Amino acid sequence: MCGRRRECAMTGPEGGLAARARAWRDADPDPETRAELDRLLGSADTEALASRFEGSLSFGTAGIRAEMGAGPMRMNRLVAGRVAAGLARYIAYIAASEQPGAVAGVVIGYDGRLNSRVFATDAARILSRAGIPVWLLPSALPTPVLAFAVRHLGAAYGVMVTASHNPRRDNGIKVYVRDGGQLLPPVDADIAAAIDAVDPMALPAGWAEGPFDFTPADDAVHAYVAAVAAGQGPAADGARTARRAGLKVVHTALHGVGDATLRAVLAAAGWPAPVPVAAQRLPDPGFPTVPYPNPEAPGVLDLARETAEREGADLVLANDPDADRLAVMVPGSGGWRMLTGDELGALLGDAVVGRLTGGGYPVDLRGRPPVVATTVVSGSLLRRLADAASVQCVTTLTGFKWIARAGGDDPLVFGYEQALGYAVRPDLVADKDGISAALLALGLAAELAAQGRTLSDRLDDLAMTHGVHVTRERSLRADGAAGLARLTRAVERVRKEPPSLLAGQPVTVTDLLKESAGVVDLAGGTAERAPGRPIPPADVLIWHAGHDARVMIRPSGTEPVIKLYAEAVRPVRSRADLAAARAAAGEHALAMLAEAAAALEPDGT
């Protein structure tokens, strides 16, 4: 996974730390990171140097991501160049093996973070000079545009320079493959091995400067906008629908790259422009109005809320900085609130399933059975919606590398995970896409508003039919390697000796680390084998507390963090009972989280 330490040739005895730092400085083309090393060397800050030079960043299915700075444990031009040179080696190896399409080219994109354009240009230069055809997106753009471009251009690979919604000092590189999806094992390990074989201080001569051959990929951007706009379903006349409904929408890009692309899509689809959160509209790598550019973080959407209140808006759409995620805020009796990822996932999934059964789905499936997908730590309402419509629902591991491929040979029509990731047009983008998701959410809100109803009303409808589904999350954190070891021991302890009761209910356990490949858990406590779509064992424990309540335990594995997810489901007899049922389910979910956290308290050894 991103950021993990890996043994490398540059790691040596303590006495060689300064020498390694000087060698890195001398090879580094970036004056800022050279100056950083000069300062650290001048102050003899051994701890800071060790944090940069003891090990190197590891490349995995999520690519590589870390804080920017000097040294092999930070993101910088030498590390980005190493990734590009390693990918070039891997492509050359595949080409030598005479595998079809191995040299079909690489399309490269970047977001608006500090140094993203520089890293992307360096990667393009290295790949191009290695004889690999390169397309380059024309400006800082959303990650889903890059994922779309891989398919649209027929490229073999895509490279996206982004750290998504990570802290402002981070940056990273993601790699996509021919189907437009993220890497899967074992390709990630093969590319990682090729990267590890590259000495970042011995990159090809002239790699950091000078012209290189590439093909502009402007057409892919226009094609993305047109394709997403054309697929909005029954609300084809978005402008008329919105005006008839009197719908007023606020959008924030959170200082990222989503604003221009979303506006282009809305304009192409005939929708009025949203009201921007002006201070967050344009890309700004400093993210000056938020402490942490993640829509899920407390306080991050405060400016969007204030703008919505001032403008008298009906809906807030919020993209994360690379616009692959979407958050939605709605007004209510208690003020504005953000829908949970599971609530929005259910609403969008319901809209897609409804358009499948109502004949409004924008893609001809040619008689093949549609599939929707979610993850083992997401809520179970999507499955109930799908079952009611006789649509197959697949539950898979966390991450869109699994979700996007959950359909196998059948067409995936919708996929989501609770962390605000939604694939509403997986035929276009085999990854999460906050732009197309925003268009679908807007269309659904407008259709409901034209009937005098809201997204919250639709959630109530779903609760009346399928029960109230409430999900909550919690993270357990510790410090450093010792903290990671303590949390790991805690998970192994409860794996061997799980609690007998959770919130007063008997516990049954599903352990995805011990199940055979291809077996995933469903909400009801049973297991499903997914033939033809094998997934590896995963370090996920699921404690089922009765029929309609569960806790999922997922250790990070690379960081001292354990993530806990809880879901409680309550039946509802009347709309008058909805508030009480939601409150009871919420209390139940929080009680399960508290008991699970107590069971996982580190043993202190």
Per-residue pLDDT reduced to its tens digit, 128-178: 999 999 999 999 999 999 999 999 999 999 999 999 999 999 999 999 999
Asked whether residue 333 falls in the same domain as residue 345, the answer is no
Q: Which amino acid is at 286?
A: G
Let me know whether 101 and 230 are in one domain. no
Percent of the chain exceeding pLDDT 70 equals: 90
Answer yes or no: is 241 within a domain: yes
pLDDT in tens, 523-581: 433 444 444 455 677 889 999 998 899 999 998 766 788 999 999 999 999 999 999 99
pLDDT > 90? residue 388: yes
Domain shared by 234 and 190, yes or no = no
The reply to whether 76 and 199 lie within a common domain is: yes
- Whole-model pTM: value is 0.92
Looking at the domain assignment, is residue 90 inside a domain?
A: yes
User: Looking at residue 510, which CATH number applies to its domain?
Assistant: 3.30.310.50
Residue 40 belongs to some domain of the structure:
no
How far, in Å, CA of 97 to CA of 603, rounded?
Answer: 51
What CATH number corresponds to the domain at position 65?
A: 3.40.120.10
The predicted model gives 290-307 an average pLDDT of 95
- In the 8-state DSSP scheme, what is residue 537? -
Same domain, 173 and 269: no
Among 56, 116, 164, 380, which one carries the catalytic annotation?
Answer: 164
The pLDDT value recorded for residue 524 is 38
- Give start and end residues of each alpha helix (H) in 130-232: 143-153, 187-196, 218-230
Tell me, yes or no, whether 187 lies in a domain: yes
Residues 375 and 405 in one domain: yes
Q: Is 516 a catalytic residue?
A: no
Q: For 395, phi and psi rounded to 5 degrees?
A: -100, 130
Domain assignment of residue 523, yes or no: yes
Residue at which a domain ends, from 454, 481, 510:
454
Domain count, the chain: 4
Task: Give yes or no for residue 487 having a pLDDT over 50.
Answer: yes
How sure is the predictor about 186, in pLDDT bands with cuts at 50, 70 and 90? confident
What residues form DSSP beta bridges with 421? 325, 417
Instruction: Respond yes or no on whether the N-terminal peptide bond of residue 186 is cis (omega within 30° of 0).
Output: yes
Same-domain status, 413 and 506: no
Looking at the domain assignment, is residue 582 inside a domain?
yes
Average pLDDT score, the chain: 90
- Paired residues of 566 in beta bridges: 472, 551
pLDDT, tens digit (0-9, with 9 covering 90-100), for 506-515: 999 988 888 6
- My answer on whether 266 and 366 are in the same domain is no
User: Residues of the chain with pLDDT > 90: what percent?
Assistant: 77
| Final residue belonging to a domain, choices 159, 193, 219 | 219
206 and 82 within one domain: yes
Residue whose C-alpha is closest to residue 162's, from 195, 208, 115: 115
Residue 37 maps to a domain: no
33 belongs to a structural domain: no
Residue 202 exposed, middle or buried by CB count within 10 Å (0-12, 13-18, 19+): exposed
Cβ(228)–Cβ(279) under 8 Å?
no
Buried b (16+ CB within 10 A) or exposed e, 451-470: eeebbbebbbebbbebbbbb
DSSP letters for 279-341: GGSS--TT-TT-SS--TTSTTTTHHHHHHHHHHT-SEEEEE-TTSSBEEEEE--TT--EEPPH
Would you call 102 helix, strand, or coil by DSSP?
Answer: coil
Tell me the residue range of the domain where 508 lies.
467-599
Question: Are residues 87 and 186 part of one domain?
Answer: yes
Cβ atoms 503, 543 nearer than 8 A = no
Residues 316, 398 share a domain: no
For 146, list phi and psi in degrees, rounded to 5. -65, -45
Specify which residues 412 forms β-bridges with.
371
Among 198, 219, 240, where does a domain finish?
219
Give the model's pLDDT for residue 497.
Answer: 94
Q: Are 157 and 178 in contact (CB under 8 A)?
A: yes
Do 64 and 199 share a structural domain? yes
- Look at the block and give the residue holding tokens 């226009």: 222
Rounded mean pLDDT of 204-219?
A: 96
